[in-house]
Structure 1
Amino acid sequence: MTTHQTGVIAFQGELGAYSHEACRQARPGMKVMPCATFEEVIEAVRRGDADLAMLPVENSTYGRVADIHRLLPESGLHIHDELFVRVRIALMSMPGRKLEEIKLVRAHLVLLPQSARFLREHQIVGHAAADSAGAAADLARTQTPGEGVLASDLAAEIYGLEVLAHDIEDHAHNTTRFLVMGREPDLKRRGHGRMMTTFVFQVRNIPAALYKAMGGFATNGVNMTKLESYMVDGNFTATQFYADIEGHPDDTNVRLALDELRYFTTHMNLLGVYPADPGRNH
């Protein structure tokens, strides 16, 4: 999925972060706007400073991205596309350094265990950093001898570092799913392949409400690829559900399933209708 588009797309992190890589892959014609937090990304789009937001929602190794499901329904934004990005980890350092000189690397905490085998084989100690791309920027500034960074190839390109080893992650399947979101919904578009529909809902306070709400998807042959629950405002009695299904709301079976769902819910909020990324097939 690649759409050439002008304008600005916002992401969380420093230039060279994996979210920046996702922006370049999905919207190569757009300028990027790095933001410190997910909330700042969403606000930049709501204010009109950015046209789109690139937000990670889940990782194949670490599961759901913290807080993102809480933020999405309240954001007022709508999903335009999804994107699956392989997390490829590169070890980089100052130009001219050799791999055997590197004794310590800095990286975001989640990257270190993903590269544990490589680091152990080369007797390199890993130190956690707040941000991998930020660690690359710091190394480019300090030029500390014997030190490297684990980050994306894009980070090395941006900060003038030299990649000493590519694809050092222990498992080649590690993938992050991103959502491209904008201010306006786009519910009528049809992709060449499968369509996805994402929504959140709360069930009515009646016995077996969730079971009954889900029944409509089974009886109408709608494939639900994700169903997650989380508390609303820290309240144990208020549970909201986030769901991804295959299909378009205009499809007869999807329309019937959603009609049945509404009967058993206190509210339902459609977050987006968008083409399924080819990465779903892998």
Structure 2
Amino acid sequence: MAFDLVINKGTFIWGCSTNFKPQLGSHSGFIGNFRYELLHNHKCSSLSVLAQRATIHVQDDNPLVHNDNKGFHKDINMLPKPLTSIGVSSSESDGSKVRVAYQGLPGAYSEDAALKAYPECETVPCDEFEAAFKAVELWLVDKAVLPIENSVGGSIHRNYDLLLRHRLHIVGEVQLHVNHCLLGLPGVTKEELKSVVSHPQALAQCEVVLNELGVDKIGAHDTAVAAKTVAMNCVRHTGAVASSRAAQIYGLNILAERIQDDDDNVTRFLVLAREPIIPGTDRPYKTSIVFSIEEGPGVLFKALSVFSMRNINLSKIESRPLKQRPLRVVDDSNEGSAKYFDYLFYIDFEASMAEPRAQNALGQLQLLAEKV
């Protein structure tokens, strides 16, 4: 199985990128007159170039180290402890490897994505998404790999919001095929299981198989936490839904593979760094921006048309409520008031900011958007 690592060639505020078909002929770059402070000022009513990237092809990913006394990996207590957003502190490094932060424990799908992006990297677990952002900002790690979208579960809105809050650039993208495995203690069969632990989204994505087994579903913070819990508690009739790497790390048996309802279950991850990469026109690129608009008939249509009229394909559109001004009163008559949300719009488009057509599109968008 293969995945695509997209390297951002330039981004102004922060950027993001994903793979798309080269025949589209799109590229990405930067706009010199945009200022970083546009995203960092917390008015968030601005349009900003978030990221851009080119495509590089990388290759895809059994199990089992078992401790007869404990039922889990003999080195389980030696695994790195997750960084926290409140108490982010440095950890030892010999400086020879790229350090990549991810959310979760060792064995999480995010760690798989980090290792696919940087096979020789040193992975650094974080207890939550914001801790991973801070770890990059504070120079504790070189990169962070964080999920932004799943083909089944949709967008990870928390990370969209954090992108605006932190001074990081999108410099790449990884697409990871999810292989949900049913894990259990050595010697246990799947028919013996009475309950299964995992992240609620993973449980929902494996509903058919789990319902056939008739097990109780128990939520956990993430899939790796579920695997670790089963290994450490040594409850024979409890299993976990997690990755095959989690089985190796925590000494569990894989009772069944690919138990997800949808075989085409793909998570898209962003690679974040402190410094941007300047885009060019040498290959296909993707650019990510965010903007807000004044309300009015057809305003959003006009904003999006600046790309269509220049034959620039939009690969992703996401909206988030503008938190600084969440509601606007339309009608405050005695008969009642109608209110609606103001939004930020996140756009990924397949073109390089080194191309005049992309520069002209964003120049026209500045005239239509409330702020750029």
Provide TM-score, normalisation by structure 2.
0.68
1:175 aligns with 2:279: no
1:106 aligns with 2:194: no
Query: Aligned match of 1:227 in 294, 299, 317?
Result: 317
- Report the Cα offset of residue 6 of structure 1: 2.9
**Alpha-carbon displacement from aligned partner over 1:119-154 (angstroms, at most 9, x marks no partner):** 222232222122221111111111111111000111
1:240 alignment counterpart: 344
Counterpart-to-counterpart distance in 2, 1:145 and 1:191: 56
Q: Which moved more, 1:227-236 or 1:21-30?
A: 227-236
Partner-residue secondary structure (3-state), 2:362:
helix
- Report the Cα offset of residue 189 of structure 1: 5.1
Q: Which moved more, 1:15-24 or 1:200-209?
A: 200-209
Counterpart-to-counterpart distance in 2, 1:143 and 1:190: 55
Root-mean-square deviation (CA), in Å? 2.0
Q: Which moved more, 1:96-105 or 1:203-212?
A: 203-212
Query: Aligned match of 2:222 in 131, 135, 138?
Result: 131
Counterpart-to-counterpart distance in 2, 1:139 and 1:213: 51
Counterpart-to-counterpart distance in 2, 1:119 and 1:215: 46
2:99 alignment counterpart: 8
Q: Which moved more, 1:165-174 or 1:96-105?
A: 96-105
Native 8 Å contact 2:289 2:348 kept in 1: yes
Counterpart-to-counterpart distance in 2, 1:42 and 1:66: 15
Counterpart-to-counterpart distance in 1, 2:207 and 2:165: 38
Higher Cα radius of gyration? 2
1:280 alignment counterpart: none
1:76 aligns with 2:180: no
Partner-residue secondary structure (3-state), 1:67:
helix
1:260 alignment counterpart: 364
Counterpart-to-counterpart distance in 1, 2:240 and 2:276: 39
- Report the Cα offset of residue 225 of structure 1: 1.3
* 2:146 maps to amino acid: L
1:210 alignment counterpart: 300
Counterpart-to-counterpart distance in 2, 1:228 and 1:203: 14
- Report the Cα offset of residue 253 of structure 1: 2.0
Counterpart-to-counterpart distance in 1, 2:112 and 2:317: 28
* Distance verdict in 2 for CA 1:191–1:129, change over 3 Å: farther
1:251 aligns with 2:342: no
1:33 aligns with 2:124: yes
Q: Which moved more, 1:80-89 or 1:42-51?
A: 80-89
Counterpart-to-counterpart distance in 2, 1:153 and 1:200: 37
- Report the Cα offset of residue 210 of structure 1: 2.6
Q: Which moved more, 1:25-34 or 1:125-134?
A: 125-134
| Unmatched 5+ stretches in structure 1 | 269-282
Counterpart-to-counterpart distance in 1, 2:240 and 2:278: 42
Counterpart-to-counterpart distance in 2, 1:35 and 1:147: 26
1:272 alignment counterpart: none
1:58 aligns with 2:168: no
Partner-residue secondary structure (3-state), 1:247:
coil
Partner-residue secondary structure (3-state), 1:179:
strand
Q: Which moved more, 1:158-167 or 1:224-233?
A: 224-233
Native 8 Å contact 2:316 2:348 kept in 1: yes
Counterpart-to-counterpart distance in 2, 1:260 and 1:61: 35
1:198 aligns with 2:266: no
Partner-residue secondary structure (3-state), 1:235:
coil
Partner-residue secondary structure (3-state), 2:157:
coil
- Report the Cα offset of residue 234 of structure 1: 5.1
* Distance verdict in 2 for CA 1:243–1:44, change over 3 Å: same
* 2:121 maps to amino acid: M
Q: Which moved more, 1:208-217 or 1:97-106?
A: 208-217
* 2:350 maps to amino acid: E
What number of residue pairs does the alignment pair up?
Answer: 267
* 1:198 maps to amino acid: S
Partner-residue secondary structure (3-state), 1:110:
helix
Query: Aligned match of 2:210 in 97, 108, 119?
Result: 119
Q: Which structure carries more helix by proportion?
A: 1
* Identity across matched positions, percent: 34
**Alpha-carbon displacement from aligned partner over 1:80-108 (angstroms, at most 9, x marks no partner):** 11111111100111122222222211011
Native 8 Å contact 2:101 2:141 kept in 1: yes
* 1:259 maps to amino acid: G
1:44 aligns with 2:148: no
- Report the Cα offset of residue 213 of structure 1: 2.1
Counterpart-to-counterpart distance in 1, 2:113 and 2:272: 13
- Report the Cα offset of residue 256 of structure 1: 1.8
